[in-house]
Amino acid sequence: MQIAGTVTAKLAVPIDEAGLIRAAQKGDQDAFERLVRAYDQSVLRVAMNLLRSPEEARDVYQEAFLKVYKNLHLFRFDCSFHTWLYRIVTNICLDHLRRRKVRKEESTVVETSDGPMDRAATLEEDSPRGNPERQMWNAQLSDRIQRALGQLTPRERTVFELRHYEGLRLRAIGDMLGTTEEAAKNCLFRATQKMRASLESLL
C-alpha cells in the first residue's frame, strides 16, 4: 500500500540523458545546456526551499552546475545522473545551512516600539489567488511550516525536503548524503516528529 502523494522527481519530457551526458563529456556545450535545463528547475526549487533565500539559492545553482560542468568527465554512470547531481546540490545546501548556523544568521525578528515583530511574517504574498480567508490561512500555515523547518537540523531538513517535496526514495537520499538508508529513515522520522510537534496547534 502506498499513501505518499508526493511529487516525483522525474523529467517531464523524456530525453536521451545518457547521450546528452556523453556529448557534454566530449565538450558539447549545447548538450550540457540541455542537461541543465532538464534539471535546473528542480535544483533551484530544492535550494530555495532548503535555504529560503533567493540569493543563496542562486549561489547554489551556479556552484552546483559549475561543479557538474568541471567534473562531468568523472561521471562514470555507476549511479544515475540525477543522484549524482542531487548529491552535489544537497552537499552545497548543507554547507550553506551549517555556515548559517555557525555565524548565527541575523534573526528575522526585530524589536519595534510595538514589541518584537517577525519581518518574515510581514512579507507580502506574491500570488493573490483564491479567497482572502484561504489566502490568510495559507500565509499563516506557510509561516508556521517555515518556522518548524527552521527548527530541524540541516540534515533533517534536507532529508525531509528531498523525501516529502522531491519524492526521492530514502535509499537514494542516504546515498546522496553519504549515509545508510536506515539512518535516512531515522532522520525522516525525527524530522516528522519535530514538525508535527511544532504544528500541533494548527492540525
By CB under 8 A, name the binding residues for other proteins. Answer: 1-6, 25, 27, 29, 32-33, 36-37, 40-41, 44-45, 48-49, 54, 57-58, 61-62, 65-66, 69-73, 125-127, 138, 141-142, 145, 155, 163-165, 169-170, 177-179, 183, 185-189, 192-193, 195-197, 199-200, 202-203
**Residue 116's beta-bridge partner residues?**
111
Question: Shortest distance, CB of residue 139 to other proteins, whole angstroms?
Answer: 9
Specify the DSSP class assigned to residue 113: T
- Residue identified by cell 528531498 is 162
Q: Are 197 and 144 in contact (CB under 8 A)?
A: no
Comparison of 25 and 108: residue with beta carbon closer to other proteins: 25
Specify the DSSP class assigned to residue 110: E
Question: Shortest distance, CB of residue 78 to other proteins, whole angstroms?
Answer: 13
Q: Are 17 and 83 in contact (CB under 8 A)?
A: no
Comparison of 78 and 126: residue with beta carbon closer to other proteins: 126
Comparison of 82 and 162: residue with beta carbon closer to other proteins: 162
Question: Shortest distance, CB of residue 137 to other proteins, whole angstroms?
Answer: 9
Other Cβ atoms within 10 Å of 83 Cβ, number: 17
Question: Shortest distance, CB of residue 70 to other proteins, whole angstroms?
Answer: 5
Question: Shortest distance, CB of residue 24 to other proteins, whole angstroms?
Answer: 9
Question: Shortest distance, CB of residue 134 to other proteins, whole angstroms?
Answer: 10
Q: Which long-range contacts (CB under 8 A, 24 or more apart) does 80-86 make?
A: 81/17, 81/21, 81/35, 82/9, 82/39, 83/172, 83/175, 83/176, 85/39, 85/43, 86/46, 86/162, 86/166, 86/168, 86/172, 86/176
Comparison of 64 and 82: residue with beta carbon closer to other proteins: 64
Other Cβ atoms within 10 Å of 148 Cβ, number: 20
Comparison of 1 and 114: residue with beta carbon closer to other proteins: 1
Comparison of 5 and 132: residue with beta carbon closer to other proteins: 5
